Amino acid sequence: MYDFSGRVAIVTGGASGIGGATSRRLAADGAKVLIADINEAAAQQNALAIRQAGGIAEISVTDVGNPADLIKMIDIAVEKWGRVDILVNNAYSPTAAQDTEILETTEEAWDSGIAVMAKALFLASKHAIPHLERDGGGSIINISSVHGLLQSANFLVYEASKSAVIGMTRQMAIELGPRGIRVNAICPGHIVTENIQAHMWQDNPSGYAFFEEQYPLRRCGKPEEIANSIAFLCSDQASFVTGHSLVVDGGLSIQLQENLGVRLARYMQDKPETKLPY
């Protein structure tokens, strides 16, 4: 556990998944948490869970693709609690994860995905920085992905966005360090959120087992494991860490790919009944 008593945290996409677990973790460690999410019902549900556990949470109905909503989000936190100490840029765009090749990727899909996963990060940070600096500094956490480090075909918008997050994190760390603001990124592997569990794996247990086989730990990640990493980077224990992209992927990205390919081929030979996830 870390001590975030007296600190105010904003978590975009904070209603569920990685953002939901992060909101709960920061609140459990004493932070006052503003859950900024486009899904009002889910945000209210997560805020209620935090309050029932003894924490403090409010919500802001926020579409991070709308610049006015980002300003409103910051204003709500300052009006309620007088400060901002932690900003977690986590919100995600399902549109950006559509598996289309570049020639099929529309300009609208590009614009909407970049707006949510790159431009929103810039704007939320820009509006939070004066408050972070005024109150003695703070921490910005940007959620990237292993897709920001290793690319996959047919995910142009997602790959571009998550790569941009890493570059912006480094640039912001250099620029904001003299102001007492640390900026770091998290690069998760496959995290089984509530939505993914319900829509991707519930009816395909053999495909899920195949997915887990790709990881040295032989399992996928949990939202709480990413939340724990975020809490560390926000804490005083990470006071000399900035500009870093922390890979939290169960070892997925450290493997020699040709050996991984051979092992998975053998897995398919041994279990031909496997229904591939893609």
| Active site positions, annotated | 158
3-state secondary structure of 277: coil
Query: Are the CB atoms for 144 and 172 separated by under 8 Å?
Result: no
Closest CA to 86 of 170, 23, 15, 8: 8
Query: What is the rounded CA–CA span in Å between residue 32 and residue 140?
Result: 16
| Sign for the pseudo-dihedral over CA of 181, 229, 171, 89 | negative
Residue 230 phi, psi (nearest 5):
-65, -45
Query: What is the rounded CA–CA span in Å between residue 228 and residue 258?
Result: 32
Strands 8-12 and 86-89: parallel
Query: What is the rounded CA–CA span in Å between residue 254 and residue 251?
Result: 6
Question: In angstroms, what CA-CA distances link 213 with 139, 206, 219, 265?
Answer: 35, 11, 7, 11
Query: Are the CB atoms for 120 and 71 separated by under 8 Å?
Result: no
Residue 143 phi, psi (nearest 5):
-90, 110
